[in-house]
Structure 1
Amino acid sequence: MEVIFHWCILGKFHRKAAWAMVAICLSLMGTLAWSQEPARPTIDLAEFVQRLLPLESDASDQTDLYESLLLLYTNPLDLNQATREELAATYVLSEAQLNALMAYRQAVGPFLSVYELQAIDGFDLPSIFDLLPFVTVQPPRMGLRTGWVQPTQHFLMVRSGKLLEQQKGFSAIDTNARSNTRYLGPAWNGYIRYRKSRTGLYSLGFTIEKDAGERPWNWSPKRQIFGPDFTSFHAQVLNRGRVKNLLLGDYQLQVGQGLVFAAGFSLGMGSEVIRSTYRSTLGLRPYTSALEANYMRGLAATIRVGPRLDVTLLGSSTRRDGSLDQAVADPNEAVISSLVGSGYHRTAAERDKHGNISEQNIGFHSLYRLKSQQGQLGLTSLYTHYGIKIQRKAQPYNYYEFSGADHWVLGLHGDYHWQNFHFFGEGARSQSGGIGAVGGLIAGLGKTVDFTFLLRHYDKDFHTFYGQSLAESSRPINEDGTYWGLRYSPSRKWQFSSYYDYFSFPWLKYLVNAPSQGYSYFLHARYKPHKRFSAYLLFQQKNKERNLPNSEASLVPLVETERRSAVLHMQWDKPMKYVLRTRIQYGAFRYIGYSESRGFTVVQDATWKFAKGELSGRLAFFKTDNYDSRQYVYEKDMLYAFSIPAYYDTGTRHYLLLKYNLSNDLRLWLRWSQTRYQHLDSISSGLNSIAGKTRSEIKAQLLYQF
């Protein structure tokens, strides 16, 4: 069958004639296509994320992205049903490739096999290999009853782990010390996940999680605490007549460019310099992460009102963690001084904040699709009510922050495709009158050059609680920016990428006592002579203004800071045998005019694959002047786990990870990791501190597939 496809591709026909010939070939081979559908390749999602975001400063920022990609990997897109938006969210295909795939499907008809990707103009083997883990070709859609007994995914997973060294929070109380606070629960952490689903039909699942130091059991339904520290559940039905999507339980909504509703499908600024500017409209998604914030809990539905018009309605009633304080006007009135999203409930003070604030949401989204998937227009609205009024602490940088118990935000988004140009944008207005706006384009300038441009503007009083559009800051507020991205692929072996981003903050920020500005740029070169070896070299620099630390001046001056990073990464891969990765990483940070902090890391990873599993390990040496030049490097971890520790001081980091198939249905993971520091006598701080120079962790995980 594969030979026939190559014959169809290589024939020197007019494009329409070639498509017709491919269709004839497919019809002749139709009875064999589904039976010969290849198994989807496995993927190391941590390594995939590292390629997209090779330099990171905080692991928690990308956990939601990892969960979203994992959800996509475990529920692959059907090439015959997937929309352009869903395919774009894989971050694999260029604008020209998306156009070619849509045109091929419209001209030839339904795919019979993923082998057909080879027949699409502009699809090279590296792109196909990157896409295969996220797509499949399924038989014609079956009924719900049949799909229930033939799920595409059905598993139960249990994981636990603990630090081998004792943290202060688990030690005996020192009666001579000022503080006698300790963690209330045991030192081990626990995680349970169950899911049963059939792509395009339904999904049912729950997640249970307990962090180290939290009590294993607590029952407080009024605060939505149902035994374990965090519980999450969802039940979803898809494509039942006019009901396109019905979700009960925990969920997220991803529409437009993320000004009003945003889920985890966002890259930010990284080595994917082109598609990072655009966010796909994916609609309602079940929430499966263990992150204890930024999700809704209730009922939501998307209804097909017309052939090209969908309407989504949602209602949510959940609980949030918050720090309470006295109101400025009335000391007897309690107000929320800040919302807490860490998810930790280990001490008495943290437990008091657990679910202590009620939050209700009512939302609306309508989406009108233009003909032939040329574009779409959408309208969004979200009303939020808190049981207690929010009033930030009286600091100058909080002057324009949201204050009150009720809030609404209204947005309008759209995008349009013309040839290899993709125009997109979104504007929103919050109750305060603040405006947020994003607009840009992605262009395929021939087969070798891709270009993107994005403008963003967020008023200092623009407020959005569930929005997360592209920004230098962690939230889209008080920022203006311009982003340019360029990618040049002269051959299949070489690819060069770069971006430049300028940003300014019209009002004050935390630790920035005046309006400020900055810029960043990124250079990336990738070399892949064949599928067994790849390498990339990158450089990134970011300059931004901050308060001068330890200043004794009455008015603390702003000083420009500079952070520079460089990485050389190489990988050797022998299929079904081994993978070797070598990484050299350098970083430096300084307040311009003052001394510079430098650091580097040398990492060697190895994975050996055998009949019943694989064994992976790492040896790393790091040296930094101080915490300012710390190094973050992704680590291979268990399925559904994500690890990116900070390397600082001078020392070594190593781990061993065993994955073993006990049977066809039962898999086991065991992981041991350790960091050794040369100069530290105490690791971390507060109740997390460890006396000594070593920090070690063990974890175990079992996955049963029904």
Structure 2
Amino acid sequence: MKPCLLTLLLTLALVSTGITQAQQPGDWRKLVEQLAEEEMNEAAIENMYEELLQLENNPINLNTATREQLENFPLLSMEDADAIFRFLEKNRPIYTLFELRNVPLLDIKTVEMILPFFYVGETEDKAARPQVSDILKNGRHELQSRFDKTLTQRAGYGEFPDSILERYPNRKYRGEDFYASLRYSFRYRNKVQMGITAEKDAGEPFFKPDYPKGYDHYGFHLIINDIGWLKTVVLGDYRLSFGQGLVLNNDFMISKSWSTGNIARRTLQPKRHFSTAEDGFFRGTAAVAEFRNFAITGFYSNKKIDANLSDDGHITSFKVDGLHRTPLEIGKKRNTREQVAGGNINFRKDRLQIGISGIYYQYNRMYNPTLRDYNFYSLRDFSNFNASIDYSYQLPGLIFAGETSFARNGAVATLNTLQYRFSGNLSFSLLHRHYPISYNAFYAQAFSEGSDVQNERGLYIGTEFRPFPKFSVTAYADFVRFPWLKYNIDTPSNAVDLYLLGTYTFSRQSFLEGRYKYKQKEKNTAWPDEKSRSVLPYATHKFRLRYSRDLRSGWNFRTTADMAHYKEKHFPAENGFMLSQNIGYRGKGSLTGDAYLAWFNADTYEARLYSHERNLLNSFYMPSFYGKGCRLAFSAKYAITDNLSFSVKFGHTRYFNRDTIGSGTELIDGKRRSDLFSYLRWVF
């Protein structure tokens, strides 16, 4: 432990504090890292990362940008998108990106964050009616290949006698110990998108005799925009979001701490599904037609999915991890057919928007989860139906938005928000939701504390303000009641979620931030000396202090201190600490890279801490750690040509207080784990 900690402290001491700053735009990747720490769904994080990366590689021309393009942009709130569009309507043509600083109520931080996603081009869109020859000649092709491998031996890849495998066939993975993916995409401006995805996870067979299809997962999408009255036509894999998400949202869901002024959602045009996530998307067709003030969306999906089945063939739960490594996992691969159909009618006039949505889904097997007290009101049928009406109304600085929906059993859920910006330095958000225990909506994903839009009542209050010119504060409080039992909670329960972030900006490239998070919930707890259990409250406190600095030479230094404190009533407290340093280089040469070193000491999993290290382009990896140890990671990108680049990352974790890492087939017999990630990107 001592050499690792001493090395880290020496690195911190060498960080420069007196070199003139460069002026570079903000890094959206830092926000995605923040979301990952909020324990968002991993597939949602990957979808968001991939979409932002695609937008960064294909920026939008501000002189031809439509309201829909701005509203679909994930980093803009409804108010921000509306303000930018109205500014562009009055001031086109604009001549530099920095004219966005003149947009009313748009702060400098947001402007710098979105600069990489836009450019200033010609006012007229000469490609409004492209010819096939223009598309083929001027389109942009992109080929991506990724290869990851854990260098340390894991139990699932060991050698076992045939007698053991006959008795325990799921002790050994059937495939190779590496991850591989291949993706090709084609894009012509904002008119045409097409892509193909192929992927295998580590442990899944790859071109073996019994698995001749090669990769475990394949995907395809084709999107064509602006075909007369048809705004969008989609074939293949896609994602959708209607209203506030009470009926349908398999797009990513922004966490509470992303922005207190960005909690209201809106109906979005269909988006491609190009990530390697094997769950959470539709496969079929969708189309959007526009008639004056109306936009009509219709869609149909038909695909096979993974499910856990009971002895009588009923679905007990859906398998969403996409892993097919052992005979047990392979036996669940695409064993159920899912069909989904639905639509949305959206009316917009001036500042008023009203939408009506509906969705119907069915399975070729009965959904019948094993009966427990907490899931007594869950759906048990072959199909279900949901419908809703949503609304939003915008005034200068003020937004009302909400949605009310119902399920086939008559249960009604509702969510309503109010956002008010007093000035450019103060904003306020209020959100109330009521999700009955009997409301079943499998494709809903809305603002919530739980994982489902069910069994929850809550009131969220958030604010952002600048008490001083260089100091900003983001804070929220969320008070939640769960009226019915939950998994591992045998009584109705409550939750409190508090968040406070203060940022002091020394200059445009140097800042210090302090963050505090508090979450109190309840759970079943077994008493050590009794054969009984009780529902007891527990609380988690998380603290962070971070300093970040960019230098003119291209170097970046980010120093972070994290602490976690977990306390369950009547039991001893559990604590975690992490001290980390990231050093990055983004100079003008062909080679860029990052070095990351962290020391951690966390008593248990409940006090775990996250590694905020830089990852390869188009890959997202943010591990959490508990125990005592250190983490070291190096990443580098080399631009072979302007259009061809190769990236590699090496990560190594060493523990000081354990002899094994992981469990089951992922068990490592030792104190160390090493991983290698590589990525090749060719644009032509």
TM-score > 0.5, shorter chain as reference: yes
For 1:130, what is the secondary structure of its paired residue? helix
Partner amino acid for 1:584? A
Partner amino acid for 1:632? Y
In the alignment, what sits opposite 2:464? 487
CA distance in 2, matches of 1:88, 1:380: 19
Task: Report deviation, 1:497.
Answer: 1.1
| Aligned-residue CA RMSD (Å) | 2.4
In the alignment, what sits opposite 2:674? 696
The correspondence for 1:562, drawn from 533, 536, 539, is 539
The correspondence for 1:442, drawn from 411, 419, 433, is 419
In the alignment, what sits opposite 1:18? none
Task: Report deviation, 1:104.
Answer: 2.0
Of stretches 58-67 and 498-507 in structure 1, the one that deviates more from structure 2 is 58-67
Of stretches 182-191 and 89-98 in structure 1, the one that deviates more from structure 2 is 89-98
Identity among equivalent pairs (%): 27
Matched, 1:69 2:52: yes
In the alignment, what sits opposite 1:651? 629
- After superposition, residues 285-296 of structure 1 pair within 5 angstroms as 285-296=271-282
In the alignment, what sits opposite 1:357? 336
In the alignment, what sits opposite 1:244? 231
Matched, 1:640 2:625: no
Of stretches 649-658 and 75-84 in structure 1, the one that deviates more from structure 2 is 75-84
Partner amino acid for 2:645? R
Partner amino acid for 1:131? I
Task: Report deviation, 1:207.
Answer: 1.2
CA distance in 1, matches of 2:139, 2:547: 35
Contact kept, 8 Å, 2:574 with 2:606, in 1: the verdict is: yes
Task: Report deviation, 1:121.
Answer: 3.7
- After superposition, residues 136-175 of structure 1 pair within 5 angstroms as 136-139=119-122, 140-141=124-125, 142=127, 143-145=129-131, 148-149=135-136, 151=138, 153-173=140-160
For 2:244, what is the secondary structure of its paired residue? coil
Contact kept, 8 Å, 2:354 with 2:390, in 1: the verdict is: yes
- After superposition, residues 393-542 of structure 1 pair within 5 angstroms as 393-542=370-519
The correspondence for 1:208, drawn from 198, 205, 212, is 198
Contact kept, 8 Å, 2:70 with 2:85, in 1: the verdict is: no
Partner amino acid for 1:537? G
Task: Report deviation, 1:591.
Answer: 0.9
For 1:105, what is the secondary structure of its paired residue? helix
- CA offsets per residue over residues 124-146 of structure 1, 9 Å max, x none? 54332111122233433203336
The correspondence for 2:576, drawn from 577, 599, 604, is 599
Task: Report deviation, 1:90.
Answer: 4.7
CA distance in 2, matches of 1:190, 1:427: 43
Partner amino acid for 1:248? L
- After superposition, residues 375-386 of structure 1 pair within 5 angstroms as 375-386=352-363
- CA offsets per residue over residues 352-390 of structure 1, 9 Å max, x none? 10101000111111111112xx13111111110101101
* TM-score scaled by length of structure 2: 0.91
Count of residues in Structure 1 that have an aligned counterpart in Structure 2: 654
Task: Report deviation, 1:325.
Answer: 0.4
Task: Report deviation, 1:200.
Answer: 2.1
Q: Cα distance 1:383–1:121, how it changes in 2: closer, same or farther (>3 A)?
A: closer
For 1:133, what is the secondary structure of its paired residue? helix
The correspondence for 2:314, drawn from 308, 328, 335, is 335
Task: Report deviation, 1:635.
Answer: 2.3
Partner amino acid for 2:289? I
Q: Cα distance 1:57–1:129, how it changes in 2: closer, same or farther (>3 A)?
A: closer
In the alignment, what sits opposite 1:613? 591
* TM-score scaled by length of structure 1: 0.88
Of stretches 136-145 and 339-348 in structure 1, the one that deviates more from structure 2 is 136-145
In the alignment, what sits opposite 1:17? none
Task: Report deviation, 1:483.
Answer: 0.3
Task: Report deviation, 1:461.
Answer: 1.4
The correspondence for 2:217, drawn from 230, 236, 243, is 230
CA distance in 1, matches of 2:257, 2:329: 35
For 1:489, what is the secondary structure of its paired residue? strand
In the alignment, what sits opposite 1:198? 188
- CA offsets per residue over residues 67-86 of structure 1, 9 Å max, x none? 33334333433434545565
Task: Report deviation, 1:481.
Answer: 0.6
Q: Cα distance 1:504–1:86, how it changes in 2: closer, same or farther (>3 A)?
A: farther
Contact kept, 8 Å, 1:659 with 1:670, in 2: the verdict is: yes
Task: Report deviation, 1:281.
Answer: 2.3
Of stretches 241-250 and 121-130 in structure 1, the one that deviates more from structure 2 is 121-130
Contact kept, 8 Å, 1:396 with 1:508, in 2: the verdict is: yes
For 2:454, what is the secondary structure of its paired residue? coil
Of stretches 634-643 and 70-79 in structure 1, the one that deviates more from structure 2 is 70-79
In the alignment, what sits opposite 2:168? 179
Task: Report deviation, 1:451.
Answer: 0.5
Task: Report deviation, 1:168.
Answer: 0.3
In the alignment, what sits opposite 1:118? 101
Q: Cα distance 1:520–1:123, how it changes in 2: closer, same or farther (>3 A)?
A: closer
Partner amino acid for 2:309? L
Q: Cα distance 1:72–1:41, how it changes in 2: closer, same or farther (>3 A)?
A: farther
CA distance in 2, matches of 1:182, 1:594: 39
In the alignment, what sits opposite 1:108? 91
CA distance in 2, matches of 1:147, 1:456: 49
CA distance in 2, matches of 1:182, 1:460: 41
Task: Report deviation, 1:259.
Answer: 1.2
For 1:557, what is the secondary structure of its paired residue? strand
Task: Report deviation, 1:493.
Answer: 1.6
The correspondence for 2:287, drawn from 295, 301, 313, is 301
The correspondence for 1:129, drawn from 91, 112, 119, is 112
Contact kept, 8 Å, 1:90 with 1:131, in 2: the verdict is: no
- CA offsets per residue over residues 617-643 of structure 1, 9 Å max, x none? 100000011222111233211111001
Task: Report deviation, 1:198.
Answer: 2.6
CA distance in 1, matches of 2:352, 2:188: 28
- Unaligned 5+ segments in structure 2 are 1-22
Matched, 1:323 2:308: yes
Partner amino acid for 1:50? E
In the alignment, what sits opposite 1:267? 254
Matched, 1:46 2:29: yes
CA distance in 2, matches of 1:394, 1:121: 55
- Unaligned 5+ segments in structure 1 are 1-39, 327-332
Partner amino acid for 1:307? R
Contact kept, 8 Å, 2:298 with 2:343, in 1: the verdict is: yes
In the alignment, what sits opposite 2:5? none
CA distance in 1, matches of 2:179, 2:438: 40
CA distance in 1, matches of 2:209, 2:98: 52
Of stretches 397-406 and 105-114 in structure 1, the one that deviates more from structure 2 is 105-114
Q: Cα distance 1:118–1:185, how it changes in 2: closer, same or farther (>3 A)?
A: same
CA distance in 1, matches of 2:40, 2:409: 32
For 2:586, what is the secondary structure of its paired residue? strand
CA distance in 2, matches of 1:347, 1:423: 50
Partner amino acid for 2:282? M
In the alignment, what sits opposite 1:387? 364
CA distance in 2, matches of 1:550, 1:65: 42
Q: Cα distance 1:527–1:268, how it changes in 2: closer, same or farther (>3 A)?
A: same
Partner amino acid for 2:640? L
CA distance in 1, matches of 2:434, 2:64: 35
Task: Report deviation, 1:671.
Answer: 0.8
Matched, 1:257 2:244: yes
Of stretches 615-624 and 174-183 in structure 1, the one that deviates more from structure 2 is 174-183
Contact kept, 8 Å, 1:55 with 1:632, in 2: the verdict is: no
Contact kept, 8 Å, 2:106 with 2:424, in 1: the verdict is: no
Task: Report deviation, 1:96.
Answer: 6.2
Q: Cα distance 1:668–1:53, how it changes in 2: closer, same or farther (>3 A)?
A: closer
Q: Cα distance 1:621–1:557, how it changes in 2: closer, same or farther (>3 A)?
A: same
Of stretches 480-489 and 47-56 in structure 1, the one that deviates more from structure 2 is 47-56
